Amino acid sequence: MKMAMETRILVIPFPIQGHLNPMLQLSKRLVSKGLKVTLVSTNSSLKPNNIISSIDFEFINDGFDAELNPETFDEYIKCFKVVFPQNLAKFMESRKSLGFPFKFVVYDSGMPWMLDVARDLGMDGAPFFTQSCAVNAVYYHLDQGTLKVPSEGCSVALPSMPLLGSDDLPTLVYETDSRQSLRELIVNQMLNIHEPNWILCNTFDKLEEEVVNWMKIQCQIKAVGPTVPSKYMDKRLENDNDYGLSLFKPYSETCKTWLDSKAINSVVYVSFGSLAAVGEEQMEEIAWGLRRSNSFFLWVVRESESQKLPKNFSEETSDKGLVVSWSPQLEVLAHKSVGCFMTHCGWNSTLEALSLGVPMVAIPQWTDQTTNAKYVEDVWQIGVRVKVNEKGIVTREEIEVCIREVMEGGRSKDFRRNSEKWKELAKEAVDEGGSSDKNLEEFVAAIVST
C-alpha cells in the first residue's frame, strides 16, 4: 500500500451538515485504504469539533459573508458557483507548484461542473451522491425525459422501483416554481451522469438491490455506504465514534442519564434534523400526539423552533418526556431504551436508523424525504408513514396511532425483526469483504494504478 499512501486526493462536499457528514465519513474510509485525503470546504461552513489527524482540512473562500439559511440560499448558490471554482483552482495549482499535486477529486453530486474543473487541471473525478439510489433513479428519469410526473392522487411505474404515488416522489420533481436555485442544484446532479468513470453512492447493494442494479446499467455507479461512524458498524476504524462536525452542541450527558433510567424499547426519539422547520400548528399536534401516546419521549427541538411549543409543554410533560435543543443522535439511536424514531426521513437519519436497527415513524417534509418514507414503510417494512389531513397537517390522533402501532401494535415485532435484519446487512456491507468495502477497494486500486 506504499504507492497508495503517496496518492493524494481531494474530497469536496457541499458545505451543509447533511452533506459534510457523509463525505467526511467516506474520507475516513478512503484514508483507511491508504489514500492521503484533503477535505475542502468553504470559509463559511462548519469546522471540525476536534482534530481528525488522518485528514487534512482546507477552507476556501466562497465569497459569501452572510449566514447561510433558507432565505439566503438562492443568493448563496449564485455566489458559490462563480467564486468557489476559481479559488479552488488556485489552491490546487498552488499545491501542485509546491510538489504536492492531487491525483483525483471526489466531489458532491450537486457540483457536476467539478468534473470539468478537475479534468482541466489534469485530474479525474467522481461524484458522491448523498441521497438514496432510488432518489437518484427518479432524478435520472427526470433528466432523461422518461418520467411523466403523475397528477395528484395518481401513480407512476418506473423500472426496478415500487409503484410511486405523487406524494412518494421527491417534492422538487413537481414543485417547479419554488426554491428555484435548490431545484436546479438537485435536478442538475444528472447533467453529465454518463461522463464519470466512477460514481459513488451512499447506500449498500442489498438495501436497494433492484434499483442499484438498474442504475449500474445506466452509469458507473458503486454503492459504498452506509457512511455511519465505524463504532456503530464494523469497528475497524480506531476512535471513529462520531462524525466530528456539528452545527449545535448536543446535550449528551443529559440525554444519556435520562435514557439510562428508562426500560428497553420504551422511548420514542423525535428529531427532524438540522434544517426542517415545522409550522406552529403542526408542532402543537406533534406535542399532544406524543402526550396521548403515553410513551416516554426524547424530543429534539432546535432553539430556533422552541417558541412554537405549546406553553409550559416541557414542564407539564416532564413525567414522560425530555425536550432538548440538540442530541448526540447516534448515541441515542444506539441506546437500548429507544424503541422508535419519529423522523423527517432525511437520508442520513434514515441510514442511521437502518444501521442501528431502530423502527421508524416517518413524517417526511420535502425533497427526497417523501421517497425515503415510501421505502421505510413499503419496501424495507421497518415502520409507518403518517397520513396528513386536507390541510396538510398530521393530527395528534394520527401521531398517537402511528406511535402505538410501531411501539406496541400488531406489527411491532415485524418492524423490530426487519430493523435487525437491515442492521446486520448494513454492517456486513462495510465490514471486510462486504459489498461496499469491496467497491471502495476497487475504487482506490483504480486511482492508485492510473
Q: How confident is the model at residue 69 (pLDDT cuts 50, 70, 90)?
A: low
Strands 55-60 and 36-42 come out as parallel
Place domain 2-243+432-449 in its CATH homologous superfamily.
Answer: Glycogen Phosphorylase B; (3.40.50.2000)
Instruction: Report which of 63, 108, 111, 117 is spatially closest to residue 90, judged by C-alpha positions.
Output: 117
Q: Is the pLDDT score of 4 beyond 60?
A: no
Question: Which cell goes with 293?
Answer: 401516546
Q: Residue 380 has what DSSP assignment?
A: S
Q: Quick one: pLDDT at residue 335? A: 98
In contact, 342 and 321? CB cutoff 8 Å: no
Q: Mark whether 108 is an active-site residue.
A: yes
Give the active site residue among 56, 65, 74, 108: 108
Give me the residue label for grid cell 470539468: 116
pLDDT at 412 > cutoff 90: yes
**Lowest-confidence region among 12-16, 132-136, 182-186:** 182-186
Cα–Cα nearest to 158, from 175, 142, 171: 142
pLDDT value at residue 82: 85
Radius of gyration of the chain (CA): 22
pLDDT in tens, 338-395: 999 999 999 999 999 999 999 999 999 999 999 999 999 999 999 999 999 999 999 9
138 or 75, higher pLDDT: 138
On average, the pLDDT of the chain sits at 93
SS3 199: strand
168-211 pLDDT tens trace:
999 999 877 766 778 888 989 999 999 999 999 999 999 999 99
| Residue count (the chain) | 450
The confidence score (pLDDT) of residue 115 equals 95
Give the model confidence (pLDDT) of 210-246 as tens digits.
999 999 999 999 999 999 999 999 999 999 999 988 8
Q: Which phi and psi angles does 278 have, rounded to 5°?
A: -100, 135
Query: Quick one: average pLDDT of 36-58?
Result: 84
- What span, in angstroms and rounded, lies between the C-alpha atoms of 407 and 416? 9
Tens digit of pLDDT for each residue in 77-122? 888 888 888 898 889 888 888 888 899 999 999 999 999 989 988 8
Instruction: Give me the helices (H) in 158-306, please.
Output: 180-187, 209-218, 252-260, 280-293
The whole-angstrom separation of Cα 405 and Cα 137 is: 31
List the catalytic residue out of 19, 141, 335, 344. 19
344 is catalytic: no
Grid cell of 185 as nine digits? 442544484
Alpha-carbon span 262 to 248, nearest angstrom: 25
Q: Which run of H or E residues covers position 352?
A: helix 347-356
The pLDDT assigned to 3 comes to 43
Instruction: Please tell me the predicted confidence (pLDDT) of residue 81.
Output: 83
User: Residue 66 above 80 pLDDT?
Assistant: no
Provide mean pLDDT across the span 388-412.
97
pLDDT tens across 252-293, in order?
999 999 999 999 999 999 999 887 789 999 999 999 999 999
Q: What is the pLDDT of residue 2?
A: 40
The ranges of the chain annotated as CATH 3.40.50.2000 are 2-243+432-449, 252-425
| pLDDT score recorded for residue 372 | 98
* Cα–Cα distance for residue pair 40/51, rounded to 1 Å: 15
Q: How many C-beta neighbours within 10 Å does residue 318 have?
A: 10
Candidates 2.30.40.10, 3.40.50.300, 3.40.50.11540, 3.40.50.2000; correct CATH number of 252-425?
3.40.50.2000
Distance CA 78, CA 97 (A): 30
